Structure 1
Amino acid sequence: MDIGIDKIGFYAPHLYVDMNKLAVSREVEPEKFTIGIGQEKMAVAPITQDTVTLAANAALDILTEADKEKIDFVIFGTETGVDHSKSAGVYIHHLLGMNPWARTVEVKQACYGATAAIQMAKGHIALNPSSKVLVLGADIARYGLKTSGEATQGAGAIAMVISAEPKIMKLEEHSAYLTADVMDFWRPVYSEMALVDGKLSNEQYISFFSKIWGKYKEKSGLALQDFEAICYHLPYTKMGYKALKTVLDETAEETQERLLSNYKISTQYSRNIGNIYTGSLYLALLSLLEQKEDLAAGSRIGLFSYGSGAVGEFFTGILQPNYRNYLNTRQHTELFSARTEVSVSEYEQIFAETLPKDGTSIELDTDQDPAKICLAGMKDHMRQYIHKTK
């Protein structure tokens, strides 16, 4: 039985800041942001968007009523959840009107969370072939204004339906994974901002890829020439390139050129969104699928997932016949074109807007947010969500 990605969608906030202008404001050469780390625009989440609403909006346009009945497991990978106890997925379960006879959980391991969710989903489908699983990956990356990590912030969400006989990508059997206790990136429960050792994190990312790639080759018997493309977790778009180039000498020049060309295509969406943590690998995959129109069915795509702290995994998928018919390319193109640029000062004001820390009731103006699902405020310590089309 084939199991894999049947549907995939994404959502990002309607606001962004231009990285050239941010660099000038921070008295940094713009090329450091646009070339050095490979970012052009950074999605900015208004106070009316959190990880719940981002994920709900990502799922909204890909789910049919039939999907909602078949989905009996909702798994939300995030490292910026909204509650220490209640799963963010439960809010989404309600907002989307999902089948009540469904499990719903939240999983966490930095940027690896959505990959863990996919592997859990595969096991569930293997035992329940007629069911479907909704996998979500949503985050808002915040390091603070004028910090070393500011240029690698972002916000967005990925939603995927995992099922038997998938229409987009069949996930193959072999995978390789690794865990090590590394303090390269973390966010203590008392901190709203992530802490990061940038140099160590870069080193560990590449080290994990090298070790896991070696293990994967042992388990699968495959080599670089067997791949049409390899997609990477992208905290910034140059990161995956640094890892890819460490193994290119294993293969012929023709394969090197193909992998490098397709890698560049896979980074287009992330260049204009920024880091979305748990969803960033799958945003890269979506960019490749939607932007490379001649990517043939039957192509093998490698997927490298890395979550600081640290857990990494390499696994693969095969594109299915007529997979392009099941992508939402037009909607995603419209999402990008409809976004509004904010100035650096406006971005700083938005960044400073936060919910009360003491549970004080507050109403938010959702009229300025074009998203169908928004955070409308807080009342009695409870977040208040609205679905504008219900």
Structure 2
Amino acid sequence: MKIGIDKIGFYSPHVYVDMEKLAEARGVEPAKFTIGIGQSQMAIAPITQDSVTLAANAALQIIDEEDREKIDFVIFCSESGIDHSKSGGVYVHQLLGLNPHARAVELKQACYAATAGIQMAKGHIALNPESKVLVLGTDIARYGLNTPGESTQGAGAVAMIISANPHVMELEQHNVYLTNDIMDFWRPIYSDKAFVDGKFSNEQYILFFNKVWEVYKEKSGLELKDMEAICYHLPYTKMGLKALRTVLDEASEEVQERLLKNYQTSTIYNRNVGNIYTGSLYLSLLSLLENADLEDGSRIGMFSYGSGAVGEFFTGVLQLNYRDYLIKESHQQLFNKREEVTVEKYEEIFEDVLPADGSDIELDISKDPATICLSGVVDNKRQYVNKNR
């Protein structure tokens, strides 16, 4: 039985800041941001959007009434959770009006969690072939204003429906994964901003990729020539390229050119959204599928990495007429309707946060075009609104 991605969609907030203008405001050569790390725009989450609303808005694009009935498992994957106890998946389940006879949980392992969610979903579908699973990778990357990590912030979510006989991509076996207890990136419970050892994290990312790739080749019998493209977790778009370059000499010049070309295509969306942690790898996959001319049956390699650290390499095969099940026009409209804000306005939005003491607050959602928004906090309970209900 084939199991894989039946539908995939994403959502990003309606405002962004231009990276060249941010560089100038920070006294940095713009090329350091646009070429050095490979970022052009950075999505900004207004106070009316959090990891729950981003996930729900992403899912809203792809689910229909049949999905609402058949989805019996919601896997919410995030390192930007809004509650230490209650799963963000429970909120999303209600906001989308899903079948009440469903499970809803939240997974956490830095940027790797959505991959763990997909593997969990595969097991569920294997036991329940008529079911569907909604996997959500949703995050807001925050490092702080005027910090070394500021240029790698971002906000957004990717939603995927995992099912039997998928329309977009069959997920193959031969997964190879690796765990090691390191401190390259972390966010203690008491902090709303992450801590990162950038140089160390970059080194570990590449080391993890090299290790799982070597084992994957032995386990699967496949090589670079068997991949039409490789997508990577992208904290910034140059990161995956650094890893890819470490193995390119294993392939012919023709294969190298193909992989490099498709890699650049896979970074288009990420370059204009920024880092969305758990969703970054799958935003890269979506960028590739919607902007490259790949043949049905093409094999795509995927490297998932979550600091702390867990890494995994796995592959998927594009299904017959997979393009018919993508929603590229909707995603293009999402980008086209976004509003650029000044650096000053970005800083104002960044500093506009919910009360840390749980005080009641009412938020103005009229300026947020998203269907699902956070409208305030009452009695320490976040208040969500689906404008279509």
Instruction: Bin the TM-score by the shorter chain.
Output: over 0.9
2:315 aligns to what SS in structure 1?
Answer: strand
In the other structure, the counterpart of 2:47 is 47
Mapped partners of 2:72, 2:366: distance in 1: 33
Offset at residue 329 of structure 1 (A): 0.3
In the other structure, the counterpart of 1:256 is 256
In the other structure, the counterpart of 1:366 is 365
1:173 aligns to what SS in structure 2?
Answer: coil
TM value normalised by structure 1: 1.00
1:366 aligns to what SS in structure 2?
Answer: coil
In the other structure, the counterpart of 2:162 is 162
Could you report, residue by residue, the CA deviation over 1:3-60 in whole angstroms, capped at 9, with x for unpaired residues? 0000000000000000000000000000000000000000000000000000000000
* Partner amino acid, structure 2, of 1:96: L
* Partner amino acid, structure 2, of 1:273: V
1:4-19 map, 5 Å: 4-19=4-19
Offset at residue 61 of structure 1 (A): 1.3
Offset at residue 219 of structure 1 (A): 0.6
Offset at residue 357 of structure 1 (A): 1.0
In the other structure, the counterpart of 1:328 is 327
Mapped partners of 1:245, 1:156: distance in 2: 28
Mapped partners of 2:159, 2:219: distance in 1: 29
Mapped partners of 1:267, 1:142: distance in 2: 21
Gaps of 5+ in 1: none
Q: Report the RMSD for the aligned CA atoms in angstroms.
A: 0.3
1:338-357 map, 5 Å: 338-357=337-356
Offset at residue 143 of structure 1 (A): 0.1
2:216 aligns to what SS in structure 1?
Answer: helix
In the other structure, the counterpart of 1:196 is 196
In the other structure, the counterpart of 1:278 is 278
In the other structure, the counterpart of 1:57 is 57
Offset at residue 359 of structure 1 (A): 1.1
TM value normalised by structure 2: 1.00
Mapped partners of 1:82, 1:99: distance in 2: 23
1:286-305 map, 5 Å: 286-292=286-292, 294-305=293-304
Could you report, residue by residue, the CA deviation over 1:232-267 in whole angstroms, capped at 9, with x for unpaired residues? 000000000000000000010000000000000000
Mapped partners of 2:211, 2:291: distance in 1: 30
1:174 aligns to what SS in structure 2?
Answer: coil
In the other structure, the counterpart of 1:381 is 380
In the other structure, the counterpart of 2:147 is 147
Gaps of 5+ in 2: none
Could you report, residue by residue, the CA deviation over 1:302-331 in whole angstroms, capped at 9, with x for unpaired residues? 000000000000000000000000001000
Mapped partners of 1:89, 1:363: distance in 2: 23
Mapped partners of 2:358, 2:29: distance in 1: 42
Mapped partners of 2:277, 2:238: distance in 1: 15
Q: Are 2:82 and 1:82 equivalent residues in the alignment?
A: yes
Offset at residue 365 of structure 1 (A): 0.4
Mapped partners of 1:310, 1:218: distance in 2: 23
Mapped partners of 1:46, 1:68: distance in 2: 28
Runs of 4+ in 1 over 2 A off after TM superposition: none
What is the identity percentage for the equivalent residue pairs of Structure 1 and Structure 2? Answer: 71
2:83 aligns to what SS in structure 1?
Answer: coil
Mapped partners of 2:156, 2:219: distance in 1: 34
1:178 aligns to what SS in structure 2?
Answer: strand
1:193-272 map, 5 Å: 193-272=193-272
In the other structure, the counterpart of 2:122 is 122
* Partner amino acid, structure 1, of 2:226: D
Offset at residue 389 of structure 1 (A): 1.0
2:67 aligns to what SS in structure 1?
Answer: helix
